[in-house]
Amino acid sequence: MRGRFARRAAGFVGLVVLFLVVLTAAVSWLLTTLFGGGWVSVVLLVFVLLVAAAVIRQVVRSVRLTVAPMGDLIEASARVEAGELGTVVPERGPREVRTLARAFNAMSARLAANENERRRLIADVSHELRTPLTVIQGDVEGMIDGLYPADVEHLERILAETRQLERLIDDLRTLSLADAGALGLQREPTDLAVLTADAVSALEPQADAAGVTMAVDADVDLPTIDVDPLRIRQVVTNLVMNALRHTARGGRVIAQVRADADGQLLSVSDTGVGMDAETATRAFERFWRTADSSGAGLGLAIVRDLVTAHGGTVDLRSEPGRGTTVTCRFER
């Protein structure tokens, strides 16, 4: 393809040169006809020849400067088509061609990053699905072989793992809908303080088992906001569960709802281990988690996508040994 493009460019230059030669010959004949063979005719003819030579030189130079970088882009496009994502071309040539090369490099890098993310996502999903499936398969096979009794203890263990699978599948579906821009929201006027209190109250058994104290602190007489209550309840649940997961026994988790000039703020703070700056920057990445985390690494990613779908923003502040605070801002 690159050679074909170069030949076509050379053919274009040849046609331009031929056109200028013919045009120069026609102008020379016209000058000779009008002025005869006098010095005026000679001067004008020399001027025409110089102009034609300058035009030809500029055309050849422009095509030469353009053909090489365009050839690079053609060759790189073929390599990307063949699967070599991340291919980079040198940014050279005229300004427009350099802009095109810069855009191509950005596109190629984004494709490579998306492909790497896809592969990592498949590997992480496979790992997360394999763990509960292994437990279920082991218990069922043990019951069939007579190693385990089909009692309440073993059946409850299987049930817990199936619920874990259900949660993981629901989380993946939510992320998939968010990526596709198809996350439907059933908005209705909602009291964010009441919704937060209800969601926190539902998690009291987990907090009691972990030995963590929970509390809700909300401004009084907050106006309702137009959100999807089920999705926002999921946001609160994920934030509180994440806080409980990283807070040691005797710690505290507080959910706050505040009004500000543009809307309302929902924040969940804990007295847990906290995160350093590098860890905090990766907290919203899918399937990313610290070594001591027992979750799947999807909770904060879902929080970010759900809040963003409502037109809001999410901010995380954390410090090692001093806990973490995640704040969601909802506009009116």
Confidence check: pLDDT of 5 > 60: no
pLDDT per residue over 173-223, tens digit each? Answer: 887 777 777 778 889 999 999 999 999 998 898 899 889 999 999 988 889
> pTM for the full model?
0.62
Task: State the pLDDT at residue 65.
Answer: 64
Split at pLDDT 50, 70, 90, the class of 316 is very high
Confidence check: pLDDT of 324 > 80: yes
Task: State the pLDDT at residue 164.
Answer: 74
What mean pLDDT do residues 115-127 have?
74
Closest CA to 290 of 309, 273, 307, 302: 273
Between 1-5, 196-200, 272-276, 320-324, the lowest mean confidence (pLDDT) is in 1-5
pLDDT per residue over 30-76, tens digit each? Answer: 666 666 656 656 666 666 667 777 776 766 666 666 677 777 777 88
What mean pLDDT do residues 70-86 have?
80
What mean pLDDT do residues 21-38 have?
66
Task: State the pLDDT at residue 143.
Answer: 87
Task: State the pLDDT at residue 145.
Answer: 86
Task: State the pLDDT at residue 246.
Answer: 86
Token pair, residue 117, equals 């993310």
Closest CA to 190 of 228, 160, 162, 159: 228
β-pair partners for 215: 254
Measure the CA–CA gap between 150 and 167, rounded to whole angstroms: 25
Task: State the pLDDT at residue 193.
Answer: 93
Measure the CA–CA gap between 83 and 60, rounded to whole angstroms: 35
- For residue 190, the Cα-to-chain-centroid distance in whole angstroms is 30
